Chains A and B, each alone.
Chain A
Amino acid sequence: MKGHIQRTDGFTLVKLVLGLLVGVSLGFWSCSRQDNSGVVESITVGYPPFESATLFYIAEDQRFFSRNSLNVTPRRYDTGVATLGGLSNREVDIAVGIAEFPLVGRALQNEKLIIIGNIDKAEFIFLLGRKDRGIEKVSDLRGKRVGTTFGTVAHFHLGRFLDLHGMSIKELTLVDVKTPEEWVNAVVTGDIDAVATAQPYADFVKDRLGENGVVWPAQSGQPLHGLVISSKEWITRHPEGTKRFLKSLAEAEGYLLSHPAEAKVILQKWLNLDAASVERIWSRNQFSISLDQALIATMEDEARWMIANGLTSEENTPDFNEYIHLDDLKAVKPEAVHIIR
């Protein structure tokens, strides 16, 4: 009996040592986990139905927002400009997937909206014309009715595209087409001769025109950005919410990298696309959360273009550093921030 008792003591010691090791390991593990506890914040997020908001779609689909104690209500708008309008009217707290050009327009009107991140770099503005209207080459566009949404990045890239081909946007008859349906239908039915618009609607137009269509990539190698924008007031009042929102998008980026097939299905579902369109989108977009100097250079370029083309009464380019909030993205993903200040 005595011997039995002593053996039990020995095993107890072994168990104690193992328990200690397991306890220490669990302690390290629990310390290494980030604490996401906190009050759930409710955020209304506006987005246009473009591929530029892909990371947002993934974060919402995979519940990254709710895991970071955010209750997100998505609100869809037809264009980035309309989404930005929603932000200005305080219908939404944050706008995602917005191209920089509308923001440049707002900045030239001294409206201070703040960029807190960029989740996409893409080339998805295309110029599409009808051959039956005599459009075969760029110079054939002279005097033609060309549609675009005024004040959008498509407007800018149409102008820049023409500049680089020795033409002026004043040589066209510009038509303001405002909704995704109009972008497609107006040129397909022949109300206009050509259209400068974003994907996936450019692909829709191309498919509908078939052999009668001619297509040019309109961005001339200059990528446009899919920005995450909010107001200064909201960011100041919700520093924790801003960080959690960006953290969710960063987690969505990680998911996109580790589960590309699932991410494509999510985008397909949100934009109601076929698989081939999603593959094309994948090839022309860089879905990654960042803030870099190219964004400043792009916005300054666009501001100069607007001034030169008389689209604003302002004569000076704004200091876009004042429109970018770096701190929260730095806190969430420091390696993604490269802005000269």
Chain B
Amino acid sequence: MRIRTQFVLNTLLFGIILVLMAVSAFVTHRQVDTTRKQDSIAASIAQGANELSYLANDYLIYRESQQLSRWQSRFALFSNQVAALNVDRPEQQVLTRNIQVNLHRLQDVFNSAVSAAGVSSSSQETVLDPALLQVSWSRIAIQSQGLISDASRLSQLLRQQMDNLMNRRSLLIYLMTGLFGALLLTSYLLTYQRILKSLAKVQAGTASIGSGNFDFKFADEKNDEIGDLSRAFNQMTADLKTVTASKADLEHEIAERKQAEEALRAAHAQAVWLARFPEQNPNPILRASADGTVLYCNPASAKLSGWRCDVGRVPPNDLLPLVGRAMAEGTELQQDVQLGERFYIVCVSPFPKEGYANIYGSDITERKQAEEALRRSEEHFRALAEALPQIVWTADAEGGVEWFNNRWYDYTGEPYGIGQGWGWELTAHPDDMPHTLKNWQEARQRGTLFQNEIRVRSHAGQYRWFLVRAWPLLDEDGKVVRWFGTNTDIEELRQVEQKLRESEARYRTLFESMTEGFALHEILCDEQGRPCDYRFLDVNPAFERLTGLKRADLLSRCVRDVLPGTEAHWIENFGRVALTGEPVHFENFSASLGRWYEVFAYRPVVNQFAVLFTDITERKRAEEALRKAHNDLEKRVHERTSELSTAVQSLQAEVVQRKRLEATLRESENQVRFFASQCLTAQESERKRIAGELHDSISASLAATKFAIERASEEMKRGHGDPESLKNLAANLTGIITEVRRIMADLRPSILDDLGILAALNWFCREYRKSYSHIAVEKQIGIEEHEVPDSLKTPVFRISQEAMSNISKHSQASLIKLSLKKEDGRMLLTIHDNGQGFDPETVGKGLGLSSIRERAELSGGACSIESAKGAGTTVCCSWPI
């Protein structure tokens, strides 16, 4: 791609990103603004529901028109707010729909409550029936709370939406910024790669070309501006190379000549150096004639003791035979020679044709001394090796055994020398050979310690395990020159190890399978030596199971690190065990694990402690439950005892009460018997009265009518009957009918059933005044007909009848005041006269008064009779309604 195109594209991309960022910010702002408005509406709806609930209840309590109009006005506003809700997400739309449905329900409920309130009470009453009020209030509360809940939830969702929008905007900006940065980085890398790197290569290439390297060629074949430049440079280099070819050939020839001159100078220096060699050699060099006369001796031979010889003299005596033998044999001889206190290796090179021999000496005194020391050391080593209980051996650098001490021969029973080289393989167990040879090969290659276990056959034919170890002996260059090895009998050790392994396996199985948790720890102390922490060394699976902690998470870690909430008392207790060795056994609660444990801790080694524990949380809970149950039982027994005591007291009181009640009952029974007898008497009296009435009025009238009918019949038989006599008969019958009605009315006025108690009392008072015109009757009624229960109408009428009858018979009163009214939830009937009165102690148990009292009490009411001589009488009865 062309650099210009790349630049244009980059600019375009940057522009797009900037536009995207701006558009995103603008769109999000619009969305947030819209959502905020909807949130405001939702909040207003929640508040509106609250206000509507208040206004509805206000109206239901007071039922005044202004509350109703307020409710309707607020509801209209509320409906508008609900209608203004416009959300786009499914969950928000569902809530909006719920709000709309609940809005209509609220209106329906309120309207039905208003309607029910209107129906349930009369127009004069302002107080709604409490039950209906409660029901209406609850129904409105349910609707309004549902509205509030949905509106609040919608508001929260809208707020979440706003937050999400803001977060999304931020994320988008971050993303765009990141993209912007990535684009910048990519642009930089591309520029670096494509332009700067290419320019650098061009720069390096021009430098190379500038230094005369016309073979340089730019490899960049890109189709861009740099590629164009590279191709131009390649063309230019090719042209320059052609122009400067002859100059290069000339320079090459000059260089070769310089090299030849340099080689000549070096050969001459070597020749001079070689010529000076004998003179400078520190070792003695002689040339002697065939008869032994010294023809040449270098300066070193003149200085060395034992070599002191000069040209023309004979060499030292020990050299002469060598010279003679070499000249005679014509071959070079070499021999160690001691001259004085020093040792030399002497090499005699004969030149028989020339008649002389060159004698070269080299001082080997130090080497000889070292060899002697080595020999003595070898003897010492072998003596020492023979003294060792182990098999000791040496081997050469190639691994062949050079020497075994006598332990090997004693053990294997092999004849001396058999084990040397690789003969020892015959005594080794065939199964152990492959790995032994492999290890031995590797050790020799590395030049490091060789260690191996191998079974070796004894002279008795039994194999025993040996630990074979060999150390390399290195020379100054680090090369192995020899191996020193030992074979140690480890048969018993192996057996012990095997037993140990078996034992450990047994204990490991026990460790793994035991149900108690087990853990081994190392105690850690602070600078004052006080236990401050402990480290887990090992735990068994039961430990993991009981604590919920994993072994891998615990090993080598400290308890304060693993369980930061570990209480100090655990560390103190375990520290005491680890430091003093005194075992402990206790039960305690671990707050960090939230469980109870029974713990036994002991010290296996100093500064360590092992813990054996079981989880007793369930047992503790059971104990706690048992203790609580015991306490509860104690408490219950105590309470029961107290209750029993109270009950006994109550029983005693009840006994007293019962005795009193029994006395009352006996008195009541007597009274009942008295009343029964009185009732019988009254019945008889009433029957007598009715019989008297029937006899006095009806019977006589009927008899008179009968006679009149017979007389009329007789007259009609005689043919001169008078029809007028029948009219009188009809008048008589009408009188009889009226009389029968009067008697029936006295027994039970039909008006009581037909028109009710109030009409019956009116009728009775009117009739009473007709019968007893000297007694005035003042009547006061303060109760509605429907307020008098049906069951009380007859008792009220009869009591009034009985009381006023008594007054007419006994009081000599001139005024009766009769009152029937409602007061404090009770109905009161009062009959007062201004007569002579009586003493209630003496007269109060008479039939009439007793009958009044009895009627009142049997109908669920109460009765009081107040009277005093000369002060009139007041009968007052009341019933709950």
Question: What residues make up the interface of A, taking CB atoms closer than 8 Å to B?
Answer: 1, 3, 6-7, 10, 13-14, 17-18, 21, 121, 160, 163-164, 166, 220-223, 253-254, 257-258, 286, 288, 290, 292-294, 296-298, 300-301, 304-305, 308, 335-336, 338
Contacts and interface: CB of A to CB of B under 8 A. Distances in A.
23 contacts: A10-B192, A13-B189, A17-B182, A18-B182, A160-B135, A164-B116, A164-B135, A221-B108, A221-B112, A221-B139, A222-B109, A222-B143, A288-B98, A290-B149, A292-B146, A297-B145, A301-B139, A304-B134, A304-B138, A305-B135, A308-B131, A338-B152, A338-B153
Nearest to A339: B149
Nearest to A334: B156
A222 B152 CA distance: 20
B231 to A, nearest CB: 14
A221 B109 contact: yes
Nearest to A11: B193
Given A223-B146, A288-B94, 7 more contacts: A7-B193, A221-B108, A290-B149, A293-B148, A300-B138, A301-B138, A338-B152
Contact of B189 (A10, A21, A305, A338): A10
Interface string B137-157: 011011101101110110011
Given A222-B142, A300-B138, A294 B149 contact: yes
Contact of A294 (B135, B146, B189): B146
B133 to A, nearest CB: 12
Contact of B148 (A10, A163, A253, A338): A338
A286 B145 contact: no
Contacts of B197: 3, 6, 10
A107 to B, nearest CB: 16
A301 B148 contact: no
A221 B141 CA distance: 12
A10 B193 contact: yes
Nearest to B185: A17
B119 interface: yes
B484 to A, nearest CB: 54
A220 B109 contact: yes
Nearest to A123: B105
B423 interface: no
Contacts of A336: 153
Contacts of B116: 164
B460 interface: no
Given A3-B220, A164-B112, A292-B146, A297 B185 contact: no
B119 A166 contact: yes
B654 interface: no
Among A163, A220, A221, A335, which residue has the most Cβ atoms of chain B within 10 A? Answer: A221
A6 B148 CA distance: 69
In this complex, the interface size class of chain B, counting residues with CB under 8 Å from chain A, is: 35 or more
**What are the 6 A-B residue pairs with the smallest beta carbon separation, nearest first?**
A292-B149, A301-B138, A10-B193, A257-B90, A294-B145, A335-B156
B91 interface: yes
Contacts of B190: 10
B204 to A, nearest CB: 10
B50 to A, nearest CB: 11
A160 B141 CA distance: 16
A298 B186 CA distance: 65
A121 B189 contact: no
Contacts of A18: 182
A160 B156 CA distance: 34
B160 interface: yes
Contacts of B220: 3
Contacts of B143: 221-222, 294
Contacts of A305: 135
A292 B145 contact: yes
Contacts, number: 106
Interface of B: 90-91, 94-95, 97-98, 101, 105-106, 108-109, 112, 116, 119-120, 131, 134-135, 138-139, 141-143, 145-146, 148-150, 152-153, 156-157, 160, 178, 182, 185-186, 189-190, 192-193, 197, 201, 219-220
Among A254, A286, A305, A336, which residue has the most Cβ atoms of chain B within 10 A? Answer: A286
A166 to B, nearest CB: 7
A13 B156 CA distance: 46
A286 B98 contact: yes
Nearest to B139: A222
A292 B131 CA distance: 25
Specify the main secondary structure of chain B where it touches its partner.
helix
Contact of B141 (A1, A257, A258, A297): A297
A297 B142 contact: yes
A304 to B, nearest CB: 6
Contacts of B97: 286
A1 B217 CA distance: 12
A221 B146 CA distance: 12
Among B90, B106, B108, which residue has the most Cβ atoms of chain A within 10 A? Answer: B90
B98 A338 contact: no
Contacts of B219: 1, 3
Contact of B142 (A253, A257, A258, A298): A298
A253 B153 CA distance: 15
Contacts of B90: 257-258
A149 B197 CA distance: 90
Nearest to B186: A14
B608 to A, nearest CB: 36
B637 to A, nearest CB: 24
Contact of B186 (A1, A3, A17, A164): A17
A2 B180 CA distance: 31
Contacts of B186: 14, 17
A18 B183 CA distance: 11
Contacts of A301: 135, 138-139, 141-142
A17 B179 CA distance: 11
A332 to B, nearest CB: 14
A305 B98 CA distance: 26
Contacts of B106: 221
A297 B138 contact: yes
B436 to A, nearest CB: 50
Contacts of A338: 148-149, 152-153
Given A222-B109, A335-B160, A14 B148 contact: no
Contacts of A296: 145
A7 B197 CA distance: 9
Contacts of A10: 189-190, 192-193, 197
Contacts of A253: 91
Contacts of A3: 197, 201, 219-220
Nearest to A223: B146
A335 B119 CA distance: 42
Nearest to A24: B178
Contacts of A220: 108-109, 112, 139
A298 B91 CA distance: 24
Nearest to B153: A335
A6 B201 CA distance: 11
A232 B756 CA distance: 60
A297 to B, nearest CB: 4
Contacts of B153: 290, 335-336, 338
A253 B182 CA distance: 41
A294 B94 CA distance: 18
A163 B135 contact: yes
A293 B186 CA distance: 59
A237 to B, nearest CB: 14
B617 to A, nearest CB: 15
Contacts of A300: 138
Contacts of A21: 178, 182
A227 to B, nearest CB: 15
A294 B134 CA distance: 15
A283 B91 CA distance: 15
A336 B197 CA distance: 62
Given A297-B145, A301-B142, A338-B153, A257 B135 contact: no
Nearest to A287: B94
B845 to A, nearest CB: 42
B189 A14 contact: yes
Nearest to B98: A286
